[in-house]
């Protein structure tokens, strides 16, 4: 498995649910999978910040593994969570895959910008 993380910029309005889906690796290649892995994504105002403004994880249901063999997952972040934690601005994010070994192997899968814009349509 290659250890190169993808550069992925995510654009999201603050009035919609964030449900972007991603497939990692080469489609059809089953030499590695998401079986037995967990996932965590932190969003920060700056890479130098200590505390994230939002943390997503598979344990919390905000990262959903759709197909562990084909390595497909999606983000599931309701608009009210975005509005509460991410005022319109530019942020940075990265997604880490964590295995069950001791100590765990942490594999960066992707990182980039998260740009939140003000939506038009209200409730």
Distance between CA 100 and CA 104 in Å, rounded? 6
How does pLDDT run across 87-122, given as a tens digit for each residue? 999 999 999 999 999 999 999 999 999 999 999 998
Distance between CA 23 and CA 38 in Å, rounded? 15
How does pLDDT run across 32-91, given as a tens digit for each residue? 999 999 999 999 999 999 999 999 999 999 999 999 999 999 999 999 999 999 999 999
What domains, with CATH codes, occur in the chain?
Answer: 6-117 (2.60.40.10)
Q: Are strands 6-7 and 106-117 parallel, antiparallel or unpaired?
A: parallel
């Amino acid at each position: 498995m290659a250890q190169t993380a993808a550069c992925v910029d995510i654009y999201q309005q603050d009035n919609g649910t964030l449900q972007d889906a991603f497939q990692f690796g080469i489609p059809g290649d089953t030499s590695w999978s998401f079986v037995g892995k967990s996932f965590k994504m932190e969003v920060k105002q700056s890479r130098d910040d200590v505390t994230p403004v939002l943390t997503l994880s598979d344990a919390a249901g905000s990262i959903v593994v759709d197909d562990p063999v084909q390595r497909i997952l999606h983000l599931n972040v309701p608009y009210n969570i975005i509005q509460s934690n991410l005022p319109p601005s530019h942020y940075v994010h990265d997604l880490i895959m964590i295995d069950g070994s001791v100590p765990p192997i942490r594999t960066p899968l992707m990182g980039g910008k998260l740009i939140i814009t003000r939506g038009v349509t209200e409730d």
